[in-house]
Amino acid sequence: MIQRTLISVSAMEAKAVPISVTMDKRKYCITCGTLATQKALFRVMDATLIERYCDKCVTENI
Ligand SMILES: [Zn+2]
């Protein structure tokens, strides 16, 4: 398991519903697949990792 350090968790701005699937710029929770509302930044080695969660999963995973 690679060590990762939580940098910050911030609320994401709500994106408007797209007019087509290919124009969908919204992000989805990596755990349950619903629309993501929280963005978590992690420090992993020399890189920054961004993971997106919904309100429910952010409390369970962070
Ligand atoms: Zn979720």
Sequence ranges of the domains in the chain: 4-61
Report the separation in Å between the CA atom of 27 and the middle of ligand 1, taken as the mean of its atom positions: 11
> How does residue 36 score in pLDDT terms, banded at 50, 70 and 90?
very high
Residue 3 Cα to ligand 1 midpoint, Å, equals: 22
What is the pTM assigned to this prediction?
0.80
* Residue 32 CA to ligand 1 centre (angstroms): 4
Handedness of CA 24, 30, 33, 35 (dihedral sign): negative
Res 2 pLDDT > 90: no
Q: Provide the edge-to-edge strand list for the sheet that holds 4-11.
A: 4-11, 38-44, 47-53
- Distance from C-alpha of 39 to C-alpha of 34, rounded to nearest angstrom: 13
14 compared with 19, residue with greater pLDDT: 19
Ligand 1 centroid from CA 8, angstroms: 18
Residue-averaged pLDDT of the chain: 93
Percent of the chain surpassing pLDDT 70 = 100
Calculate how far, in angstroms, residue 46's C-alpha sits from the geometric centre of ligand 1: 27
